[in-house]
Amino acid sequence: MKHLLSVDDLGPRAEIEKMLDLTESFVAVQRREIPKVPALRGKVVVSLFYEDSTRTRVSFETAAKRLSADAMVFTVSSSSVKKGESLLDTVQTIEAMGIDAIVMRHSASGAPHRVAEWTSASVINAGDGRHEHPTQALLDAFTLRRHRGPSLDGCRIAIVGDVKHSRVARSDVKMFQALGCELTLVGPPTLMPERLDGWPVTVSHDLDDVLPDVDVIYLLRIQRERIGEALFPSIREYADRWGLSAARVERCKPDMLVMHPGPMNRGIEIAGDVADSTRSLVTEQVTNGVAVRMAVLWTLLGSGGDFV
Amino acid sequence: MTEFLLTGGRVLDATGERAADVRVVDGAIAEVGPGLSASAGATVLDAEGCVVTPGLVDIQVHFREPGREESETIATGSRAAALGGCTAVVCMPNTEPPLDDAAVVQAVIARARREAHCAVLPAGCITKGRKGEELAPMGELYDLGVRIFTDDGDCVADAGVMRRAFEYASALPDAVIAQHAEDPALVRGGHMHEGAWSSRLGVPGRPAEAESSIVARDLQLAKRTGGRYHVLHMSCAASADLVRAAKAEGVRVTAECTPQHLVLTDESCAGYDPSFKMNPPLREQADVDGLRAALLDGTIDAIATDHAPHAPETKDVPFEEAPPGMLGVETALAVVLTTLVEPGILTLAQALAALSWNPARIGGFAEHGSPLTANRAANLCVIDPAHQWVVEGNRLASRSRNTPWEGWKLTGKVRHTIYSGVPTVRDFDVQEIW
């Protein structure tokens, strides 16, 4: 694997599971007194974020530093990009400095695919438009596996909310399907992708209908600006019909788990007390993000063998 | 006296096919028949194994002049057109400034007369500034020779404005209202066909109904007003069905589609390569099939390319940030020959009707596309149907290189093009005529 642009790049189930196993060893590294290994000493990892995302960026930078790589930040908002430099020129400029990986976030779907054509460095997609966010899917799978694993075969997951605009959903659908889960997409018809040919999912517009059967409810962040696009009438109506309230959780299986990629809109797609309940894996998802990204960086940039 | 003799070819025009040589004297066809001998001083152009036809006519190209000369000019675009076998093109009015004013149109016509390798007739805007609000001075533009009116690049979305355009233009004989049919409310923010691929790729879509709903509306307005309507770059099967039904009712409508819409689908966008981005977008196989059927049964009259050059720096960006448009004028004939004629989907005569005599009629080109007979203007194209070549964007005559056919092996190429009696292309090479 040269680049990680999509969950597809991870390969078949066995390869994904290897990556999740590798992540376990990096969790172990993180528990050490000095949570750092020399695995990527001398390697340079640049983060190039065209959208603000402190969480994902810091997670990648922490991962790179714990592998002893040099983590650089190319700050888009205060750089030549502001002066009109094109993405291609920016990438060529960064490349000329001698780098090994570009961790990239961009508002346009497929932007990292273009960059991968322009650079000899490895490109890691940290979120492109509505398309994919593969390390999020890895950390989601890793987190869930720790609770329901090692096998996720037959695990029933409802992904609830704005699937149409969600890169997390697109990556998670591929990831969870590869791991043998059964997926239901839930939300208003206006927030579902227009065509689902080839998606291994069922679709429901009624959250209450789905609640009793699922093992995991994965909530997506809802964005207010969708109201202006006539996609749903109001936050109130959305929360009422598709928000996960404490009352709804009552009707779920006793061991049903709640996930969310963050940042959460408490009181909209997820009630505050649900977010803080023992069912919620939200904080754990964030914690595991670093180990997952260490595993990805090591796989792409490491020399093979032990990383110790 | 300047004489050219095209020898050894087969002549194919709207009247049929026959083995014949063609003698061109001082810009006009002097003689067509077998076994002609060259006069002293005549230049012989070998057409052995070739098809000699009326020059091709592309009624939808963007030569970007004035305003975007870094991507194309009348000089470079018309050289590409000549290499593609064209002797006449209609250039679209979405220039900067747009062709909504007699002075600008005059300037384009004057420049074409000095620099072009083929006849270049501008289309005029329907509305001032292409804003879709007030009518452009259609009468003044008509007097300069403009016959096709369009706000191409943008749809005339307001039904009231469209109605008035039809009514006003009906006072101008042979003027046609040509629509870029995409309802802006349905395509806003979209970058590719809305379907399985856009859903998978996470790229905002442009639904086919954005086109067919406008076509349906416009056909009703054309019917009511008696106006003449032309559908530019028709892209979906539903629009073809509407035009077919309207033609049966006697509505004055014509339609064109592009080689790319006849061959490629939205799956081409899977790699996020902006070379495959255009408006209206590449659609699904069912649409490709529907367009081919419509071309075969005469619902679609013409193949036009929507030749839309964009400078490399504007296309070397993420898919969603790239402007829509593809090169086409230099490759259209070869793509049609390779993908439609060679597999037996179209006959050569059907292909040439769509590439030459039908569009000449729509565009109002009296001196192009007509059968090869004595005293006609010599606007000719000599096709070597067996010549194989590989498309390389860098080697095309256009100033840009955004071809969707990069790396395609094509069979069939224009060997000679004669524009107004002058070879603009000779033995596959463009000639310096100015």
Task: Identify whether residues A139 and A202 lie together within a single domain.
Answer: yes
Rounded CA-CA distance A105/B240 in Å is 41
Confidence check: pLDDT of B426 > 90: yes
Task: Identify whether residues A213 and A89 lie together within a single domain.
Answer: no
Distance from CA of A276 to the nearest CA of B (A): 32
Q: Which of B199, B207, B318 sits opposite A193 (nearest CB)?
A: B199
Residue of A nearest to B188 (CA): A229
Q: Tell me what pLDDT residue A223 has.
A: 87
Residue of B nearest to A131 (CA): B202
Q: Does B204 touch chain A (CB under 8 A)?
A: yes
Its domain, for residue A221, covers 134-282
Q: Which of A86, A109, A195 sits opposite B313 (nearest CB)?
A: A86
Contact B361, B369 (CB under 8 A): yes
Contact B415, B382 (CB under 8 A): yes
Q: Answer yes or no: do A170 and B320 touch at CB < 8 A.
A: no
Task: Identify whether residues B136 and B189 lie together within a single domain.
Answer: yes
Domain-embedded: residue B205: yes
* Torsion over CA: B108, B113, B116, B121 (sign): positive
Residue A133: active-site member:
yes
Q: Answer yes or no: do A87 and B200 touch at CB < 8 A.
A: no
Least confident of A295-304, B327-336, B378-387: A295-304
Task: Identify whether residues B190 and B326 lie together within a single domain.
Answer: yes
Domain-embedded: residue B370: no
For chain B, the residue count is: 434
Task: Identify whether residues B76 and B88 lie together within a single domain.
Answer: yes
Task: Identify whether residues A114 and A155 lie together within a single domain.
Answer: no
Q: For chain A, report the end-to-end CA distance as a whole number of angstroms.
A: 21
Looking at beta carbons, which residues of chain A come within 8 Å of B318?
Answer: 87, 106, 108-111, 114
Task: Identify whether residues B324 and B181 lie together within a single domain.
Answer: yes
Domain-embedded: residue B249: yes
Domain-embedded: residue B404: no
Task: Identify whether residues B356 and B243 lie together within a single domain.
Answer: yes
Look-up of token digits 């006793």: A254
Q: Which of B202, B272, B317 sits opposite A170 (nearest CB)?
A: B202
Domain-embedded: residue A48: yes
Domain-embedded: residue B247: yes
Domain-embedded: residue A2: no
Q: Which of B380, B408, B396 lies closest to B330 in space, CA to CA?
A: B396
Q: Answer yes or no: do B202 and A167 touch at CB < 8 A.
A: yes
Choosing among B188, B191, B200, which should be mutated to test the A contact, i.e. which has the most A CBs within 10 A?
B200
Task: Identify whether residues B107 and B150 lie together within a single domain.
Answer: yes
Q: Which of B87, B101, B17 lies closest to B57 in space, CA to CA?
A: B87
Q: Give the DSSP per-residue string, A264-306.
A: --BTTTB-HHHHTSTTB-HHHHHHHHHHHHHHHHHHHH--SS-
Domain-embedded: residue A295: yes
Looking at beta carbons, which residues of chain A come within 8 Å of B319?
Answer: 108-111, 114
Domain-embedded: residue B320: yes
Rounded CA-CA distance A109/A272 in Å is 32
DSSP B123: -
Q: Tell me what pLDDT residue A40 has.
A: 96
Task: Identify whether residues A119 and A236 lie together within a single domain.
Answer: no
Task: Identify whether residues A262 and A176 lie together within a single domain.
Answer: yes
Distance from CA of B272 to the nearest CA of A (A): 6
Task: Identify whether residues B293 and B390 lie together within a single domain.
Answer: no
Q: Answer yes or no: do A110 and B198 touch at CB < 8 A.
A: no
Say which of B151, B287, B306, B384 is annotated catalytic.
Answer: B306
CB contact set of A50 (below 8 Å; sequence gap of 6+): A76, A81, A87, A104, A105, A106, A107, A111
The stretches in chain A having pLDDT less than 50 are none
Residue of A nearest to B194 (CA): A194
Task: Identify whether residues B318 and B383 lie together within a single domain.
Answer: no
Domain-embedded: residue B250: yes
- Measuring CA to CA, how many Å separate A38 from each of A41, A55, A68, A302, B300? 5, 24, 5, 10, 66
Task: Identify whether residues A185 and A99 lie together within a single domain.
Answer: no
Q: Tell me what pLDDT residue A224 has.
A: 83
Domain-embedded: residue A113: yes
Task: Identify whether residues A128 and A138 lie together within a single domain.
Answer: no
Task: Identify whether residues A128 and A145 lie together within a single domain.
Answer: no
* CATH number, domain containing residue A92: 3.40.50.1370
Task: Identify whether residues B90 and B112 lie together within a single domain.
Answer: yes
Q: Tell me what pLDDT residue A308 has.
A: 67
Q: Tell me what pLDDT residue A54 has.
A: 86
Confidence check: pLDDT of B236 > 80: yes
Its domain, for residue B44, covers 3-52+375-396+409-430
Task: Identify whether residues A107 and A194 lie together within a single domain.
Answer: no
* CATH number, domain containing residue B32: 2.30.40.10
Domain count, chain B: 2
Domain-embedded: residue B188: yes
Task: Identify whether residues A290 and A274 lie together within a single domain.
Answer: no
Q: Dump pLDDT digits (tens) for B68-118.
A: 999 999 999 999 999 999 999 999 999 999 999 999 999 999 999 999 999
Task: Identify whether residues B40 and B169 lie together within a single domain.
Answer: no
Its pTM stands at: 0.95
Paired sense of beta strands B229-231 and B176-179, if any: parallel
Q: Does B114 touch chain A (CB under 8 A)?
A: no
Q: Dump pLDDT digits (tens) for B180-211.
A: 999 999 999 999 999 999 999 999 999 999 99
Task: Identify whether residues A45 and A138 lie together within a single domain.
Answer: no
Contact B60, B305 (CB under 8 A): yes
Residue A119: active-site member:
no
- Over residues B131-157, the mean pLDDT reads 98
Domain-embedded: residue A1: no
Contact B124, B93 (CB under 8 A): yes
Q: Answer yes or no: do B203 and A196 touch at CB < 8 A.
A: no
Rounded CA-CA distance B38/B1 in Å is 13
Task: Identify whether residues A123 and A206 lie together within a single domain.
Answer: no
Q: Which of B202, B207, B317 sits opposite A109 (nearest CB)?
A: B202
Distance from CA of B395 to the nearest CA of A (A): 21
Task: Identify whether residues B250 and B161 lie together within a single domain.
Answer: yes
* CATH number, domain containing residue B352: 3.20.20.140
What are the φ and ψ backbone dihedral angles of B400, each rounded to 5 degrees? Answer: -110, 180
Domain-embedded: residue A308: no
User: What totals of helices (H) and strands (E) does chain B contain, helices first?
Assistant: 14, 21
Domain count, chain A: 2
